[in-house]
Amino acid sequence: MREILIEVLGWIASVLIVGAYALNIRGKLSSEAPAYIWMNLVGGCFFVVNTWAHGAYPSAFVNVVWVLIAAQAILKKKTV
């Protein structure tokens, strides 16, 4: 069950981060939009869990930084 949860979180993370990027590139969602920032924050958190569980520590580190950047944007914009 744990393995399935880790994989589901990884797939959700992929959809959130790639989806946010695709919407941004197509002009449908600004990088300043709360939804964009939240999609990146949640996706990054899920990727941290997934990559850490798989022992992909460099990827886990990148995603921790990704989450910190998104969290800083949320705090700066107060998009909570």
pLDDT digits (tens, 9 = 90+) for 18-68: 999 999 999 999 999 999 999 999 999 999 999 999 999 999 999 999 999
Q: How far apart are CA 9 and CA 63, in angstroms?
A: 13
Q: How far is CA 46 from the centre of its chain?
A: 7
- Evaluate if pTM is beyond 0.85: yes
Q: How far apart are CA 62 and CA 49, in angstroms?
A: 12
- Other Cβ atoms less than 10 A from the Cβ of 58: the count is 8
Q: Which of 14, 57, 5 is nearest to 39 (CA)?
A: 14
